[in-house]
Amino acid sequence: MSAHSVTAASRKAKWVAGILVVLYAVLTLLPLLWIISTSFKSGPDSISYPPKVFFQPTLEGYVNLFTTQARASAEDLATLTPPEAWYDEIAWADGMIIVGPSRFGQRFLNSVIIGFGSTFLSIVLGTLSAYAFSRFRVPLRDDLLFFILSTRMMPPIVVAIPIFLMFRSLGLSDTHAGMILLYTAVNLSLAVWLLKGFIDEIPRDYEEAALIDGYTRFQAFVKVVLPQAATGIASTAIFCLIFAWNEYAFAVLLTSGNAQTAPPFIPTILSVGGGIDWPAVAAAATLFLLPVVVFTILLRKHLLRGITFGAVRR
């Protein structure tokens, strides 16, 4: 081995790479850190100048995010019994009374249902069709595959108006089912293509061994192919979830109440009453980030291998 081996990096190169990675991480994570810290600030702290790095943390932003409040005068407050719950106390301190929950919780739940629902559906349909494309003699296979890919060649929003009209006449506007269907339709082509690549990489011998061992084609698929496609399924699921979770344009257009997701809802917080409640907005953004982060962490074991798109062989 010479000093200039292709595989082993020199100490110096490792240092440089390390520093670059740290710099990049700081650059991308700093705004996130700022959002998260703002979500724990009080209203005045959040807009103080110069910005406060050290501050007294409070859950005021989160309480404001999840509740609807009414301003009460000092005399009114005096007539009421002192609050018992911690969130009531936080509102009380600002001269506010909590009159009920806000709509954020429900919108967030909508995002979870629609995001994970469409991801699940995309993966189930995507895996099955990718398997069929990979293993069976499908008539017009290449044409079909190209057609599936071509649905992604324009931005989906181009067809917003036809979809809007279709959804209205089918009664799918502002329903969970409608949004799940829409996001699945958009994600499916990506899912089929990604998963087909992963399934192509799995030698047929394994399923054939299972067929010989007395299992049906479907059992072989579930017990032998799926475990080996886990990497591909995990990374495809993350791509699908990220799209469905962050999608804004269709959500604005097609949902308004019942099935409204978090992305179109969060901006509405900005325009409530006088002045912008930055801690509440930051709290919403922080919570909004969490599911994708948690999902990614749960699947990270499979992810590193998956992101290379099967380039790394066993």
Partner 1 sequence: MAEIVIRNLRKEFGSFTAVKGSTFTVGDGEFFMLLGPSGCGKTTTLRMIAGLELPTSGEILIGGEDVSQRPASKRDIAMVFQMFALYPHMNVRKNISYPLVSQGMPRDRVATKVTEVARTLDIAHLLDKGVGGLSGGDRQRVALARAIVREPKAFMLDEPLGALDAEFREHMAEELRSLHNRMGATTVYVTHDQLEAMQMGDKIVIMNHGVVEQFGVPQDLYDWPATMFVAEFLGSPPMNFLRFDGIVGRGMAAVTLGEAVIDVPQQREDAHGALALGVRPEHVHLDDAAPTRGRVIAAEYLGTSQIVTLATPHGEVKARIPSARAVRSGDTTGLSFDARTLSLFDVATGRALSSAANQTVLAHG
Q: What is the gyration radius of the CA atoms in the chain, in angstroms?
A: 25
What amino acid is encoded at 178 in this protein?
Answer: G
Q: Where are the alpha helices (DSSP H) in the chain?
A: 11-39, 43-47, 60-66, 74-79, 86-93, 104-135, 141-150, 160-170, 176-201, 204-212, 217-220, 226-228, 230-246, 249-254, 262-270, 278-307
Nearest alpha-carbon partner for 128 in 246, 221, 230, 201:
221
213 binds partner 1 (CB under 8 A): yes
Residue 98, SS3 per DSSP: strand
In the list 227, 249, 268, 298, the residue contacting partner 1 (rule: CB under 8 A) is: 227
Helix axes 230-246, 278-307, angle to 10 degrees: 160
130 neighbors 192 (Cβ within 8 angstroms): yes
Least distance between partner 1 and beta carbon 207 (Å)? 9
Stretch that binds partner 1, among 14-22, 96-104, 118-126, 214-222 (CB under 8 A): 214-222
DSSP state of 100: E
215 binds partner 1 (CB under 8 A): yes
If binding is defined by CB under 8 A, does position 214 make contact with partner 1?
Answer: yes
User: Which listed range, 26-34, 117-125, 174-182, 205-213, lies at the site for partner 1 (CB under 8 A)?
Assistant: 205-213
Which window, 24-32, 90-98, 208-216, 299-307, contacts partner 1 (CB under 8 A)?
208-216
Q: What is the closest distance, in whole angstroms, from the C-beta atom of residue 144 to partner 1 in the complex?
A: 19
Instruction: Check binding of 216 to partner 1 (CB under 8 A).
Output: yes
211 binds partner 1 (CB under 8 A): yes
Under the binding rule (CB under 8 A), the answer on residue 209 touching partner 1 is: yes
Stretch 228-267: interaction string toward partner 1, x if CB under 8 A: x---------------------------------------
Residues lying near partner 1 in the complex (CB under 8 A) are found at: 203, 205-206, 208-217, 219, 224, 227-228, 314
